Structure 1
Amino acid sequence: MRFARLPRRGVLLGFSALRLASLGFAVAILVPALFVGGSRSAALTSPLWGSAIAAAFVPWRGTPLIEWVPTALHYAWRAATRQTRFRARPDRPRPAGTLALPGDAAALRFLVDPDTGAAMLHDPHAQTLTAIALLRHPSFVLQSPDEQARRVHGWSRTLAHLAATGSGTRVQILEVTLPDAGRGITGWWETHASGDSGAWVVRQYEELMTTVVPAASAHRTLAALSLDLRKARPLLRQSGRGLAGAAAFLKQEMTLFQASLRAAEIQVPWWLGEEDVAATLRTAYDPGFGATEQATAKLDTAGPVAVEEHWGHLQHDTGHSAVLWVSEWPRVAAPPFFLHSLVFQPGIRKTISMTYEPIPADEAIRDIRRAKVEYATDAAQKARLGVIADLSDSVEASDVVDRERALISGHADVRFTGLVAVTAGSLEELEASVAEIARAAIQSGCETRRLYGQQARAFTAAALPLGRKVSR
Structure 2
Amino acid sequence: MASTASTRTEFELSAVKFSRLTKRGIILGLSLPQVIALSIAVAVFIASLSTGGPAALYTSPIWGTAAALAWVPVGGRKLVEWVPITLHWVLRQTLRQTRYRKRIVKPRPAGTLALPGDAAPLRQYEDPETDAVMVHDPHGQTLTALVEVTHPSFILLDPGEQERRVHAWGRVLSTACRSTRIARLQVLERTVPDSGSGLAQWWAEQGNDDDSWVARTYRELIDRAGPAGERHISTISLSLDMRAASRAIRTAGGSLKGAAVVLRQEMETLTTALRTADLKPTDWYTPGQLAVMLRSAYDPAIAAALERSGEIGQDLATAGPVAVEETWDQLRSDSAHHAVLWISEWPRSLVYPGFLAPVLLSSGIRRAFTLLCDPIRSDQAARDIRKKKTEYISDAAQRQKVGQIEDARQSAEYHDVLQQEADLTSGHGVLRYTGLLAISAPTTDELEAAVSAIEQAAIQASCETRRLVGQQAQAFVTAALPLCRGI
Say whether the fold is shared (TM-score over 0.5): yes
Determine whether 1:267 maps to 2:280. Answer: yes
**Superposition RMSD on alpha carbons, in Å?**
2.5
In structure 2, C-alpha distance between the alignment counterparts of 1:297 and 1:310, rounded to whole Å: 30
Structure 1 pair 194–95 and aligned structure 2 pair: CA distance change class (3 A): closer
- After TM superposition, the structure 1 = structure 2 runs for residues 44-55 of structure 1, keeping only pairs within 5 Å, are 44-55=58-69
In structure 2, C-alpha distance between the alignment counterparts of 1:210 and 1:304, rounded to whole Å: 31
Structure 1 pair 345–393 and aligned structure 2 pair: CA distance change class (3 A): same
In structure 1, C-alpha distance between the alignment counterparts of 2:81 and 2:343, rounded to whole Å: 19
Structure 1 pair 86–296 and aligned structure 2 pair: CA distance change class (3 A): same
Determine whether 1:453 maps to 2:467. Answer: no
Residues 131-187 of structure 1 deviation map (CA, whole Å, 9 limit, x = unaligned): 011111122111111211111111111111121121134110110113447775688
Aligned length in residues:
466
Find the residue that maps to 1:107 and give its secondary structure.
Answer: coil
- After TM superposition, the structure 1 = structure 2 runs for residues 55-70 of structure 1, keeping only pairs within 5 Å, are 55-70=69-84
Corresponding letter in the other structure for 1:96: A
1:103 corresponds to which residue?
117
* Native 8 Å contact 2:373 2:432 kept in 1: yes
With the length of structure 2 as denominator, give the TM-score of the two structures.
0.90
Find the residue that maps to 1:131 and give its secondary structure.
Answer: strand
Determine whether 1:131 maps to 2:148. Answer: no
Corresponding letter in the other structure for 2:364: G
Find the residue that maps to 2:156 and give its secondary structure.
Answer: coil
* Native 8 Å contact 1:119 1:131 kept in 2: yes
With the length of structure 1 as denominator, give the TM-score of the two structures.
0.93
Residues 408-452 of structure 1 deviation map (CA, whole Å, 9 limit, x = unaligned): 111111111000001111111111111111110110110000111
* Native 8 Å contact 1:326 1:446 kept in 2: yes
In structure 1, C-alpha distance between the alignment counterparts of 2:228 and 2:462, rounded to whole Å: 23
In structure 2, C-alpha distance between the alignment counterparts of 1:150 and 1:73, rounded to whole Å: 49
User: Post-superposition shift, 1:188?
Assistant: 5.2
Find the residue that maps to 1:381 and give its secondary structure.
Answer: helix
* Native 8 Å contact 1:274 1:299 kept in 2: yes
Structure 1 pair 58–273 and aligned structure 2 pair: CA distance change class (3 A): same
Percent identity over the alignment is 48
* Native 8 Å contact 2:165 2:277 kept in 1: yes
Residues 194-245 of structure 1 deviation map (CA, whole Å, 9 limit, x = unaligned): 899899xx99x99x99999898431111111100101122332332211100
* Native 8 Å contact 1:325 1:450 kept in 2: yes
In structure 1, C-alpha distance between the alignment counterparts of 2:407 and 2:212, rounded to whole Å: 67
- After TM superposition, the structure 1 = structure 2 runs for residues 282-361 of structure 1, keeping only pairs within 5 Å, are 282-292=295-305, 293-294=308-309, 295-361=312-378
- Range moving further from structure 2, 251-260 or 227-236: 227-236
Corresponding letter in the other structure for 2:375: P
- After TM superposition, the structure 1 = structure 2 runs for residues 193-232 of structure 1, keeping only pairs within 5 Å, are 216-232=229-245
2:163 corresponds to which residue?
149
In structure 2, C-alpha distance between the alignment counterparts of 1:212 and 1:36, rounded to whole Å: 80
**Residue of 391, 397, 417 corresponding to 2:434:** 417
* Native 8 Å contact 2:40 2:66 kept in 1: yes
Runs of 4+ displaced beyond 6 Å: 193-199, 208-215
- After TM superposition, the structure 1 = structure 2 runs for residues 367-406 of structure 1, keeping only pairs within 5 Å, are 367-406=384-423
Corresponding letter in the other structure for 1:73: L
* Native 8 Å contact 1:162 1:169 kept in 2: no
Structure 1 pair 182–330 and aligned structure 2 pair: CA distance change class (3 A): farther
**Residue of 259, 262, 274 corresponding to 1:249:** 262
Residues 50-80 of structure 1 deviation map (CA, whole Å, 9 limit, x = unaligned): 2221221111111111111111100100100
1:165 corresponds to which residue?
179
1:35 corresponds to which residue?
50
Structure 1 pair 443–182 and aligned structure 2 pair: CA distance change class (3 A): farther
Residues 242-270 of structure 1 deviation map (CA, whole Å, 9 limit, x = unaligned): 11000011111101100001122111111
In structure 1, C-alpha distance between the alignment counterparts of 2:134 and 2:72, rounded to whole Å: 46
User: Post-superposition shift, 1:405?
Assistant: 0.6
